Amino acid sequence: MKEFILFLFIGTLFLECTKEKSLDPVPPVIPVDTVTHIIEFGKATVKRNGPLWKAAFSARYYSNQKARFYLEAELNENNYDHRFVISDISAIPGYQTIEGKKWGNGNNSIPNADYFVTLHLDALINSFQVDSTRSNQFIEILRYDSVQHIVEGRFQTFLEGPNNLWFLQDTVSLTEGKFHLKIQ
């Protein structure tokens, strides 16, 4: 009888020690800090296909309006000029989905992105457009100062293009993009 009670006690102890496993683990959502800046003023960064891309970023208004702007990055690598552009961005703070550029949707108030590789800034070698199969492409304006013309935000996009050049990849992923720039 003592052995039965001991067995029952140990069995109950083991049952109490089991831990419930979540069937669908949900990663924590990190809120956007609206007090501190995500990056130092005058700087912008992005990871291109993994590593940090050391391109020079700028932001410019469209000549006919100050409510929209475009963000561009340029870098010369191995004698080829690489240029990335997100255009038609609303200056109003908030999340905006990036779409692919198609005939006729050029000034439709929805951001679109392009990536170009040229030789000596004039001979187009290859171009990449938004991968329409991906839904996680965005630009988010966190702050906009219309008096000092300063914009801060983050972005992510995935681009694809026909490629038959051995030194270029078939896709370009631009992730963890951050910017805090004066709009020219």
pLDDT single digits (tens) 25-45: 555 555 555 568 999 999 999
Q: Which residue has the higher pLDDT, 58 or 166?
A: 58
Tens of pLDDT, residues 146-182: 999 999 999 999 999 887 777 788 899 999 999 999 9
AA letter at 115: Y
Judge contact between 45 and 26, C-beta under 8 A.
Answer: no
Nearest to 132 by CA among 154, 159, 152: 159
83 burial via Cβ count (<10 Å: 0-12, 13-18, 19+): middle
pLDDT of 54 above 60: yes
Question: What residues contact 67, with CB distance under 8 A and at least 6 apart?
Answer: 90, 91, 92
For the chain, what percent of residues have pLDDT higher than 90?
58
Average pLDDT, the chain: 84
Cα–Cα distance, 113 to 134 (Å, whole number): 13
Judge contact between 73 and 84, C-beta under 8 A.
Answer: yes
Residue 32: enclosing H or E segment and its boundaries?
none
Sequence spans of domains, the chain = 36-182
